[in-house]
């Protein structure tokens, strides 16, 4: 990502996509590399048109990455949809396929603010009332997102898939565990338990962000400035989004504040319901456990890629040591759900 030929190719790719959207006189300057990987790279860029400089973010995705994540057209449609629903998000500038690098490119506005979770938590601790405000803003944003009429979707959203019944979701989790080559008895116990407590009421199908959490939120002095990373969006139960936001994994040490390490559950619920959302506690509890298993087996899969020699990523290697955290969390959640007691020694 840092060699001169790469820089030239990336600039040419971004300018090609801008030209295809009608900005054929725009020139691009790469300001910084926010992240770089084998399948996805994120660049901070300035788009120059005459005397106007537009600060933007460009994501470049290979075909391999779009096999498991939303493609550029889908994410572009999601950003447009979010704007229509007044959900804070980056403004779409352009999206398309770039021949110079053989990858998809998504270009969106660059929004100032903080995204690193621990820095976000320190910001919120320094200003009275800011954490409660952010919690309410998260509840409001999710209610707006979940209220969107999927029948009015535009081009690009067909890839969001068919919603899965909770039982089918558990079947897929079990299949994923079978492929890991390790029994993971805690996760398998969790799957069996979840089959006995399926949500009583079938959810109304909603648009789900899929990764709404501390770390994918831009936070500024006014609170929630934007929701990032829409590539896991899908159709499903709205309580899945709310549960994911509240996993202990995303609290970054502030375990007594279940909403992202900064907020109280009752404040999230009040804001969600106040904006028209319908809170279903049994489904929230179910999805909290189900997504704990999902993330645990996902970390295990990343570690397996490293141990099998398919990846040399230190992030994948480190994922293996975090699996036990999800196992602990799952057993604790099951114990609390069964009424055995909070932190009962599982």
Half-sphere exposure of 240 (CA within 13 A, CB side): 29
What pLDDT sits at residue 63? Answer: 62
Length of the chain: 346
Residue 186 is assigned to a structural domain of this protein = yes
CATH number at residue 326: 3.90.1200.10
103 and 137 assigned to the same domain: no
**Could you tell me if residue 344 is inside a domain?**
no
Q: Which residues contact 154 (CB under 8 A, 6 or more apart)?
A: 77, 80, 81
Give the integer Cα–Cα distance in Å for 314 and 318: 6
How confident is the prediction along the chain (346 residues), in pLDDT tens digits per residue?
444 447 888 999 999 999 988 887 899 999 998 876 556 788 999 999 989 999 999 998 876 655 567 788 889 999 998 998 999 999 999 999 988 788 899 999 999 999 999 999 999 999 999 999 999 999 999 999 999 876 555 556 767 877 889 999 999 999 999 999 899 999 999 999 999 999 988 888 899 999 999 999 999 999 999 999 998 999 999 999 999 999 999 999 999 999 999 999 999 999 999 999 999 999 999 999 999 999 999 999 999 999 999 988 898 899 999 999 999 999 999 999 998 755 443 3
Closest CA to 243 of 125, 168, 315, 329: 329
Which pLDDT does position 154 carry in this prediction? 56
Do the beta carbons of residue 205 and residue 163 sit within 8 Å? yes
In this structure, are residues 259 and 267 in contact, taking their beta carbons and an 8 Å threshold? yes
Has residue 267 been placed in a domain?
Answer: yes
Cα–Cα distance, 18 to 4 (Å, whole number): 21
Co-location of 125 and 95 in the same domain: no
Tell me: do 222 and 181 sit in the same domain. yes
CB 75 within 8 Å of CB 183: no
The pLDDT score that the predictor gives to residue 151 is 59
Specify the pLDDT at position 346: 35
Q: Do 322 and 245 reside in the same domain of the chain?
A: yes
CATH number where 105 lies: 3.30.200
Q: Is the same domain home to 222 and 74?
A: no
H helical segments located in the chain: 4-20, 63-66, 72-84, 117-126, 130-146, 166-178, 185-196, 238-245, 265-274, 281-307, 314-337
Number of structural domains (the chain) is: 2
């Amino acid at each position: 990502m840092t060699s001169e030929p790469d820089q030239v190719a990336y600039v040419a790719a971004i300018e090609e996509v801008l030209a295809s959207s009608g900005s054929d006189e725009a020139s691009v300057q790469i300001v910084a590399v926010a992240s770089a990987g084998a399948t996805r790279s994120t660049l901070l860029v300035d788009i120059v048109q005459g005397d106007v400089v537009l600060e933007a973010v460009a994501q470049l995705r290979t075909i391999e990455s779009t096999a498991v994540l939303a493609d550029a057209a889908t994410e572009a449609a999601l950003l447009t949809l979010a704007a229509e629903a007044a959900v804070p998000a980056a403004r779409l500038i352009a999206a398309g396929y770039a021949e110079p690098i053989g990858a998809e490119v998504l270009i969106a506005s660059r929004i100032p603010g903080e995204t690193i979770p621990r820095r976000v938590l320190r910001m919120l601790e320094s200003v009275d009332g800011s954490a409660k405000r952010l919690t309410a803003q998260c509840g409001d944003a999710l209610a707006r997102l979940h209220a969107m009429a999927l029948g009015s979707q535009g081009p690009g959203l067909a890839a969001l898939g068919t919603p899965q019944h909770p039982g089918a979701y558990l079947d897929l989790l079990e299949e994923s565990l079978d492929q890991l080559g390790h029994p993971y008895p805690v996760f398998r116990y969790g799957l069996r338990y979840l089959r006995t407590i399926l949500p009583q009421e079938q959810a109304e199908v909603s648009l789900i962000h899929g990764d709404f959490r501390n770390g994918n939120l831009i936070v500024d002095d006014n609170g929630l400035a934007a929701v990032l990373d829409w590539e896991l969006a899908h159709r499903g139960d709205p309580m899945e989004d709310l549960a994911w936001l509240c996993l202990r994994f995303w609290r970054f040490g502030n375990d007594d504040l279940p909403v992202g390490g900064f907020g109280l559950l009752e404040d999230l619920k009040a804001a969600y319901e106040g904006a028209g959302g319908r809170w279903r506690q049994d489904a929230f509890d179910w999805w909290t456990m189900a997504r704990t298993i999902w993330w645990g087996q996902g970390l295990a899969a990343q570690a397996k890629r490293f141990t099998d020699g398919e990846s040399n990523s230190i992030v994948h290697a480190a994922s293996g040591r975090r699996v036990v955290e999800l196992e602990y969390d799952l057993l604790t959640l099951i114990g609390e759900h069964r009424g055995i007691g909070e932190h009962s020694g599982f």
